[in-house]
Amino acid sequence: MSNVVEIRQAKSGDERGLIDLFDSLYQESDFLLMEPGESEITINSQAEIIGASLQSSSQVLFVAVEGAKIVGFLGGAGGKVNRNRHSIHIAMGVLAESQGKGIGRQLLSTFIDWSESNQFHRIELSVMEHNVRAKSLYEKMGFQTEGLKYDSLKVNGRYINEYFMAKFICA
């Protein structure tokens, strides 16, 4: 597999690769919102998501491609009404086999540039309290912890606390 990683917006033709990515991420990680088998995304619904993101200035889906394989993603959805239109919430994941190569940092950098060009002021996310590696990356990228939501999620029968973090950009 190539060591060169391309970060780009998802496009038509990425549907199968994204579905495979999410299936793998749900199998290998307890840090995502959904559990294995819980996603009901089809090729058609993934195509609609990609199409909508390509035509919107308030939502986006970036992929990290290594060789011919999608190995990571970062998706953002902005506020829908005037009072929160300046904010965008993100979710991100990178396959275990591709972690430690700076892909998460590249996805975030690309996303921050996109957010600035689309006039967002606030990027927000949540991260499980015990996901130290991700929290450290977010902090290095300028995100600050705003709070801790107790027993926010239930993972493998255990309640998990979740940090809320944000980064401010643009005036």
Given this model, what pLDDT does residue 1 score?
44
CB atoms < 10 A from the CB of 22, how many?
18
Domain count, the chain: 1
Q: Which domain holds residue 46?
A: 5-168
Residues 6+ apart with CB under 8 A from 92: 72, 73, 74, 75, 104, 107, 108, 125, 134
Q: Average pLDDT of the chain?
A: 95
Query: Average of pLDDT values for 138-147?
Result: 98
CA angle 71, 62, 43 (to 5 degrees): 75
pLDDT at 171 over 80: no
Given this model, what pLDDT does residue 170 score?
75
pLDDT tens sequence across 45-66:
999 999 999 999 899 999 999 9
CA angle 81, 87, 92 (to 5 degrees): 125
Given this model, what pLDDT does residue 76 score?
97
Query: Average of pLDDT values for 65-78?
Result: 96
* CATH of residue 149: 3.40.630.30
pLDDT tens sequence across 2-50:
478 999 999 999 999 999 999 999 999 999 999 888 888 899 999 999 9
Express as a percent the part of the chain with pLDDT over 70: 98
CA angle 14, 105, 36 (to 5 degrees): 50
Q: CB–CB of 10/53 below 8 Å? A: yes
Q: CB–CB of 72/94 below 8 Å? A: yes
Given this model, what pLDDT does residue 22 score?
95
Question: What are the φ/ψ torsions at residue 37 (nearest 5 degrees)?
Answer: 80, -5
